[in-house]
Amino acid sequence: MNKVNNIIQNIYRIAVSSVSIIALSVILFICTISTCYKTVDSNEITFFCEDSILKNIFVILLFLLMLFIAKKFSFFNKIEKYIENDNNFDKIKKTLLLVIFAMSCAWVLFSQYIPGSDQLDIINCAHKLSIKEYDMLEPGGYLNKCTNQIGLTLIEYYLAKVIGNYNIVVLQLLNAAGLTLLYKKIIDVLETCKASRLVQVFTLITCGLFLPMTMYTSFVYGTIWHVALALVAFNRVQKYIERYKWQDILIASLNISLAMMIKSNALIFLIAIVIFVLVKLFSDKEYYWKKMIIAACMILFVIGTAKLPVWIIEQQTGYKLNQGESSYAYMAMGLQESKFAPGWWNGYNNQSYEASGYNTDKHTKIAKKEIEERLTEFKDNKGHAVNFFSKKIASMWSEPTFEGFWINQIRYHRALLPQWFESLMSMDGYLSWASILDRVQVLIYFGAILWLLLAPKGDFIDNSFFFLTFCGGFLFHLIWEAKTQYSVTYVALLLPCAVMGYELFLNATCSMLVEKKTNKLNINYLNLMICVFAIMAFAFIYKKYAYGCLVENTESYIGYTETTGGFNTDESVLEINHMKNNLKDNEGLIKYLEEKLDENNISY
């Protein structure tokens, strides 16, 4: 039995680390040679621009040098000594979390962002439920098509009973609380994995400095909360494995089910949790059945609650809902061209659903045929396939702001923005921050690779959940609809991995170089070979089949930045009052005109 357990653990470790290091190596290579930029208008077009390889290498070397200098002058030792005291450690964690919450609230209150697109559709649907208007459930209506949004709609419907409809600021402040919870759960997971206190502190600092996630607090689309709840569920799973208390099963199951109601993408987290539990089951002989119970309970709980939002809507409205747009349509769309970037939204899901007569089964057949045709096209034209997937990966993982700026630049704001905020949201502000975050993302990916190269094999399983989830997200969006709004959460989960990677590298190299010890770096040579091979193989394939596609918009983007100044999206309270007064005057005029039409027997 021990032999079987070891085989299963090794298969898991090799599989997760191999997929992770291949994905990260390809992404790092792409980020080193190119950078993606977004337009500052509603077009959402991606520009693929040349980056400086030398600058990126220099930034990595400079960062490592700074770490060595800090280590040499005992900077980290002083912090470690300070946080050895439990009270000091708790105090600094709470302070950093409070700062993150304050920064997120400040962003919400300064930006006064007004949602649009799917965010507004969901808020509108929640309002319509409250006034018993059900056109969104008719064939072609929003919730009839996007049944995956019913869960979030219901949550906002019940929230509106407390905070009122269209109370955007409160929803955004809830996002600020959700982001704080998300980062707290990352630290709780690290603590359960026995990560050093230094890693926990610097992970929180890194999270606070990761601007894109803070910017997403104004984005009321479940992006933050589904990850936060999924991490609550995973942390409860960790605790259950340690102490086997039944309330952990209930809390974990409830949170992952709620996460999936908010965002169906949370299925990636559920699968990762179940895989993790099964591997832990084989790594520890004790309490097999108890570990099986939590995996089974979570799956059954999710299955049992999956149809609950639809059932509630049907009972409340009297409508009988079908299954909506087929998930295969999103896979087909993820394999198609788009004006935004390859694999991004292009309207295919809506158009093909309408063409099917709003019939899910017919829609599935149409989408499957499209998928088959696209795969055949990729098979017959390797150059097109390499071009397509290179740009799709780059558009998701090499846009340094992850649309954090874009989602705030194109919408109206309910206040006249202060000058510093206007500067931040301007083209110059975007370019400045994109330049900084471009180097930051290289450091994140490089740090995560370092952990995979240097982590002891015995520590891998306990610390693998973030990588397992990243693998799921990366592979899923290779074939699904692409968007940086999806990838930003997975990059946030790589932050602790990068911090742990730099800690391992610093400790190992300092023991050799500074303390004059002869022990060698504990390198995972299999992962190192995979990393080198992945970079060399992708570079060869890219050069042979699609050379230049990742830098093809360099000149046109320079021209775009020189001629574009961005939109004025201010909508002050004063202007809103003027609009209300004008509407009031118009109501009187309309009443007068209707009376005149009636007097002349003209139907209206």
Round the average pLDDT of the chain to a whole number and report it: 88
Work out the pLDDT band at 465, boundaries 50, 70, 90: very high
d(CA 67, CA 498): 13
DSSP annotation of 357: T
Q: How many CB atoms lie within 10 A of CB 287?
A: 12
d(CA 462, CA 455): 11
Does residue 281 belong to any structural domain of this protein?
Answer: yes
Does residue 352 belong to any structural domain of this protein?
Answer: yes
Query: Do both 241 and 313 map to the same domain?
Result: yes
d(CA 58, CA 41): 33
Query: Do both 279 and 329 map to the same domain?
Result: no
Q: Quick one: residue 133, left, alpha or beta (phi over 0 = left, psi -120 to 50 = alpha)?
A: beta
d(CA 546, CA 542): 5
Given a cut of 70, whether residue 14 has pLDDT beyond it is yes
Does residue 78 belong to any structural domain of this protein?
Answer: no
d(CA 432, CA 438): 10
Report in angstroms the alpha-carbon separations of 559 from 50, 411, 431, 552, 562: 14, 24, 14, 13, 5
Q: Which of 342, 357, 382 is the last residue of a domain?
A: 382
Q: Is the separation of the CB atoms in 265 and 530 below 8 Å? A: no
First CA to last CA across the chain, in angstroms?
A: 83
Residue that wins the pLDDT comparison between 192 and 280? 192
Does residue 604 belong to any structural domain of this protein?
Answer: yes
Query: Do both 309 and 377 map to the same domain?
Result: no
Query: Do both 333 and 301 map to the same domain?
Result: no
Residues in contact with 581: Cβ distance below 8 Å, sequence separation at least 6, in sequence order: none
Work out the pLDDT band at 273, boundaries 50, 70, 90: very high
CA 389, 393, 396 angle in degrees (round to 5)?
140
- Would you state the pLDDT for residue 585? 54
Predicted confidence (pLDDT) per residue in 389-446, tens digit: 999 999 999 999 999 999 888 777 777 778 888 888 888 889 999 999 999 999 999 9
Q: How many domains does the chain have?
A: 3
* % residues pLDDT > 90 (the chain): 62
Given a cut of 70, whether residue 269 has pLDDT beyond it is yes
Does residue 129 belong to any structural domain of this protein?
Answer: no
Q: Which of 321, 341, 361 is the last residue of a domain?
A: 321
Query: Do both 279 and 291 map to the same domain?
Result: yes
Name the helix (H) or strand (E) containing 48.
strand 46-50
Q: Which residues form the domain of 227?
A: 223-321
Predicted confidence (pLDDT) per residue in 341-355, tens digit: 999 999 899 999 999
Given a cut of 70, whether residue 584 has pLDDT beyond it is no
Rg, C-alpha atoms of the chain: 26
Query: Do both 310 and 350 map to the same domain?
Result: no
Query: Do both 335 and 276 map to the same domain?
Result: no
Given a cut of 80, whether residue 379 has pLDDT beyond it is yes
Work out the pLDDT band at 574, boundaries 50, 70, 90: very low
- Would you state the pLDDT for residue 575? 46
| Range 453-480 average pLDDT | 93
Query: Do both 305 and 349 map to the same domain?
Result: no
Does residue 18 belong to any structural domain of this protein?
Answer: no
Residue among 550, 563, 558 at smallest CA distance from 51? 550
- Would you state the pLDDT for residue 514? 58
Query: Do both 230 and 291 map to the same domain?
Result: yes
d(CA 523, CA 515): 19
Query: Do both 229 and 307 map to the same domain?
Result: yes
- Would you state the pLDDT for residue 319? 85
Q: Is the separation of the CB atoms in 259 and 489 below 8 Å? A: no
Q: Is the separation of the CB atoms in 399 and 38 below 8 Å? A: yes
| Range 99-105 average pLDDT | 97
- Would you state the pLDDT for residue 562? 83
Does residue 228 belong to any structural domain of this protein?
Answer: yes
Predicted confidence (pLDDT) per residue in 25-70, tens digit: 999 999 999 999 998 877 888 999 999 999 999 999 999 999 999 9
Residue that wins the pLDDT comparison between 125 and 601? 125
Query: Do both 290 and 330 map to the same domain?
Result: no
Predicted confidence (pLDDT) per residue in 497-540, tens digit: 999 999 999 988 877 765 555 555 678 889 999 999 999 999 99
Q: Which of 302, 321, 340 is the last residue of a domain?
A: 321
Work out the pLDDT band at 334, boundaries 50, 70, 90: very high
- Would you state the pLDDT for residue 601? 65
Query: Do both 311 and 329 map to the same domain?
Result: no
Does residue 302 belong to any structural domain of this protein?
Answer: yes
